[in-house]
Amino acid sequence: MGKKNKKDKKGKGIEKTIAKTEKKAEKKAMKELAEKGEEDIEKLLAEFQEIDRKKTEIIEEKCSPPSPRCNMTLTAHPDKEELIMFGGEYFTGKKMFMYNDLLFYNIKKNEWMKVTGPRTPPPRSGHQAVALKQEGGQLWIFGGEFASPTQAQFYHYKDLWVYHIKTRKWEKIDAPGGPSARSGHRMVNCKKQLIVFGGFHDNIRNYKYFNDVYAFNLETYTWTKINPSGNGPAPRSGCVMASFQDNPKILIYGGYSKENVKRDVERGQTHTDMFVLMPEGKKNDESMPDKWKWQLVKQSGVQPSARSGMPIAVAPGNKAICFGGVFDEEDDDEKLTGIFFNDMFCLEMDKGKWYSYLLRGKKMAEKKRRRKKKDAAKSKGDDNEEYSNEEGSEDEPMEIPDEEVKNLSLKDQGSSLGEVTGEDNTGAVKTVVIDGVFKVTVGQQGSSSAEHAQIGSSEMEVDIFMPSPRMNALLAIKSGVLFLYGGIVEEGDKQVTLTDFYSLDINKQDEWNTLIEQDGKSQVWEDSESSSDEEGEQEGACGGEEEEEEDSEDEMEITFDDAPTKEANEETMDYFVRTRDYWMGKAQTYCETEGLELTAKKLEKLATEMCNENNE
């Protein structure tokens, strides 16, 4: 007994030491924040809640496309021809902006609408969203994170919200026993439950990855922790998660995690394994199973190369489409270089079988449809262009032994949700893309690579546009159309937040339609090392000696009487980001008046200077 008590006391001593160490680290961090002029993160959130509390009315207003942001959610409306976007973040190189905007995109009108109202979830990114038809339409939001402007502080959420689409009101659900605070997790709807898996929690001092599973009952509004039998996925975040459409099964693929290999040295791991979470034992009714089990899936076909940040969208027939992603390569100096992808894959979820998803091009797709119509007319069949996975369909995937997949060239027998190609597992952008365009040669067999995939027997060559390589793009499918929005790519030390928007008819599988082009001018990047160089460039761009520049400034007769109103206590940089289009327009007008031709970077700097001078 005495020994046991000594051990207990020793354990408590260690706990006290850890607590003291953490308290000291916290005080030190608070001191550093005070020196930077940054408030405590909980105070920042409290200020937001106070502003939100004062809102009393719901306002719907048409708006321009979203400003640059990433790690938000894009969800297909459960009833209408609309997409719903919520939250996100934007990093300028020095400052982080967090959003809680609720935006609706009208597909038919190609219009955006912003909805604001009281009791809105706090700003966040890395959360998850699921849309349901019940009770007039609902959008469920769980978790995510909030970062302070300097990224010195992070706050992870464990709250659950539902937006009632019919009444346009948010409701916070207070249900105990749910998942711990996290972001980078995944959430899907399975029968009458929301299933949450994985994610991570990082407070700068330490981090933790999760592989736990929770279910939220949509009828009783209660959380239950699921403890599946069998060996399941290792802890991870950012994985692919998809729910089967016809039975209570959930697929998990890939993801990312990191671990400490030695003091102050971390090693990232990109996962490529696949699991299915399924009921344990048979069920004869439609209720959710009481017991679950993990089952490892043996993958086949043309599997994506190792990568993370690859989004997924589920299509009819338990097919899933994936796009892009990134793989971090480590050089001899232990520096990481991201290799970004823009290739596409189709997954047969029932079989765990991958296909390389290649576009046919408009001419080839139209030729196929004409042939199908001609055949249908002969047989007096029904001319239906919607995706069909029925046996005998011309768009049905080829059934081939798995071992022959790598030796197979692309034939005119592919699935409307994926063509089989001889491309190997590397699948890197270098071998697939030429300047962001798929080059598809239509003619006699000459190569089995994706760069020269063979389709049909014509000698015609077709260039098919593809969105540029990226990670964390947003994918959503509505009425047979796949939508792709934004994402992130790195250019050296610069993080580029993409704002482009595309659509693709997955029944025709012909080509991407550009809804919003990528606008490099929308990017604001502050690099302290390059600021002096940029100032030098700006002086050189204006031409002549210093006296000539001063004369030029005297000659500028542009007023800012119509400038957007700056809000109380709003910092100038925040104001510039919000009203950027106005200042860029003024800068452009000035350049046209003076006959100057500036690069996008120099024009951005001029616009920033105009904004600063007007707000001094």
- DSSP class of 449: S
Confidence band for 259, pLDDT divided at 50, 70 and 90: confident
Coil, strand or helix: which one is 87? coil
Mean pLDDT computed over 552-563: 64
Residue 416 has pLDDT above 70, yes or no: no
- In angstroms, rounded to a whole number, what is the distance separating the alpha carbons of residues 462 and 475? 26
Residue boundaries of the structural domains of the chain: 1-37, 531-614
- In angstroms, rounded to a whole number, what is the distance separating the alpha carbons of residues 499 and 520? 9
Token duo for residue 118: 């009281």
| 440 vs 84: which has the higher pLDDT | 84
Coil, strand or helix: which one is 368? helix
- In angstroms, rounded to a whole number, what is the distance separating the alpha carbons of residues 95 and 550? 32
Confidence band for 30, pLDDT divided at 50, 70 and 90: low
Mean pLDDT computed over 488-504: 94
| 337 vs 65: which has the higher pLDDT | 65
Residue 480: burial class (beta carbons within 10 Å; 0-12, 13-18, 19+): middle
pTM over 0.75: no
- In angstroms, rounded to a whole number, what is the distance separating the alpha carbons of residues 455 and 406? 17
The tens digit of pLDDT for each residue in 392-411 reads: 333 333 333 343 333 333 33
Give the closest residue to 112 by CA, choosing from 78, 74, 144.
Answer: 74
Separation in Å, CA 104 to CA 61, 118, 119, 187, 487 = 10, 17, 18, 21, 18
- Percent pLDDT > 70 in the chain is 71
Residue 556 has pLDDT above 60, yes or no: no
Residue entry with tokens 């809000």: 567
Q: Quote the pLDDT of residue 17.
A: 53
The tens digit of pLDDT for each residue in 41-74 reads: 888 888 888 888 888 899 999 999 999 999 999 9
CA 589, chain centre distance (Å) = 35
Q: Quote the pLDDT of residue 396.
A: 39
The CA angle 209-146-151, to the nearest 5 degrees, is 90
Token duo for residue 456: 């049909």
Q: Quote the pLDDT of residue 325.
A: 98
Mean pLDDT computed over 310-317: 96
Residue 69: burial class (beta carbons within 10 Å; 0-12, 13-18, 19+): buried
- DSSP class of 493: T
Q: Of 297-311, 356-370, 479-493, give the lowest mean pLDDT range.
A: 356-370
Token duo for residue 169: 């009101």
Residue 459 has pLDDT above 60, yes or no: no
Cβ contact 167:173 at 8 Å: no
Token duo for residue 38: 């940054």
Residue 18 has pLDDT above 80, yes or no: no
- Percent pLDDT > 90 in the chain is 50
Pairing state between β 353-356 and 336-348 = antiparallel
Residues forming a β-bridge with 218: none
Q: Of 163-177, 482-496, 562-576, give the lowest mean pLDDT range.
A: 562-576
| 449 vs 175: which has the higher pLDDT | 175
- In angstroms, rounded to a whole number, what is the distance separating the alpha carbons of residues 484 and 502? 5
Confidence band for 8, pLDDT divided at 50, 70 and 90: low
Q: Quote the pLDDT of residue 440.
A: 39
Mean pLDDT of the chain: 79
Mean pLDDT computed over 445-453: 33
Q: Quote the pLDDT of residue 568.
A: 81
The tens digit of pLDDT for each residue in 191-235 reads: 999 999 999 998 777 889 999 999 999 999 999 999 999 999 999
Residues contacting 362, CB < 8 A, separation 6+: 510, 511
Mean pLDDT computed over 445-468: 50
Q: Quote the pLDDT of residue 589.
A: 85
How many CA atoms, within 13 angstroms, populate the side-chain half-sphere of residue 70? Answer: 22
Residue 317 has pLDDT above 90, yes or no: yes
- In angstroms, rounded to a whole number, what is the distance separating the alpha carbons of residues 40 and 375? 69
